[in-house]
Amino acid sequence: MHVRARRVARALEEAKKSERRFRDLTELSADWFWETDADSRITWISGGAPVATFFGGTPTYGMRFWEIPGVQVESRVLDALLERTGEHLPFFDLEITRADERGARQVHIISGQCRKDRQGRFLGYRGVGRDVTEQRRAEGALAEAKERLELAVGGANLAEWDYDLESNAIYLGSEWAGLLGRRPVAGIMSGVDVNDLVHPDDRPAVRNELVAGLKGRKTMCEVECRVRTADGAWRWVHAKG
């Protein structure tokens, strides 16, 4: 009996260690936790600042996430969610939004896994939530900055480019449409030799600037050259990078 008691004690200790590991790892990627019943109604939400900031004093228990006053979920996303939960499948990174008490838009994402009893009967979902408000704001600010830059570049008759030596791929911004008559869609022209775009008489100058930059003799390379347009004509450009 004494040996058996020690084995039970060791098993319990290992179980506690496993639980602590699970909680530690989960908390690294989650700000809050939740559970629902078989009808998708919330039965438990953990506390903490993220929950208080997002939901405030709004009642949540007994409600579905998308039924909570002020919470918004895109209709197409909600349709996909209902399809997955209807089949008791896990779902990931469902984005829900809500304005806080000051009117600022808060964005959280939730992921869930179905839970069942020992007989395999569906009990509902259990999952995690994470505050991605700052991330979405940063993404929005970056998109706005990019749009402003593109407008400024377009108004100044400038065009963005990027050349990857290793893959020999050229990235052309959408502004190149006006310069070269190409499609007004930014993208990578892979497998295209840079020399094919430059007039043969101007290739030595372009090559010299490129070599000077690669060898560290210049931090800014600059050259004027003719580049081929979509209709086969040549157009002078001032390239700097």
* Tens of each residue's pLDDT in the chain, 241 residues: 566 666 666 766 666 655 555 454 455 568 999 999 999 999 999 888 888 889 888 889 999 999 999 999 999 999 999 999 999 999 999 999 998 777 788 999 999 999 999 899 999 999 999 999 999 889 888 888 877 776 765 666 677 777 777 776 777 776 766 677 665 445 555 445 667 778 999 899 888 888 888 888 888 888 888 888 878 888 888 888 8
pLDDT at 24: 47
User: Which residues have CB under 8 Å from 236's CB, separation 6+?
Assistant: 224, 225, 226
Spatial separation of the C-alpha atoms in residues 64 and 167, rounded to whole Å = 50
Residue 229 included in any domain: yes
Output the pTM of the full model: 0.58
Within this chain, do residues 95 and 185 fall inside the same structural domain, yes or no? no
pLDDT at 11: 64
Within this chain, do residues 125 and 226 fall inside the same structural domain, yes or no? no
Q: Residue 199: give the domain boundaries.
A: 159-240
CATH number at residue 164: 3.30.450.20
Are 62 and 39 in contact, with CB atoms under 8 Å apart?
Answer: no
Within this chain, do residues 97 and 200 fall inside the same structural domain, yes or no? no
Within this chain, do residues 36 and 103 fall inside the same structural domain, yes or no? yes
Spatial separation of the C-alpha atoms in residues 18 and 6, rounded to whole Å = 18
Q: Across-strand partners of 101?
A: none
Domain boundary among 104, 138, 172: 138
Within this chain, do residues 174 and 209 fall inside the same structural domain, yes or no? yes
| Number of folded domains that form the chain | 2
190: its two tokens: 């892979």
pLDDT at 32: 92
CA dihedral 17, 18, 24, 30 (to 10 degrees): -150
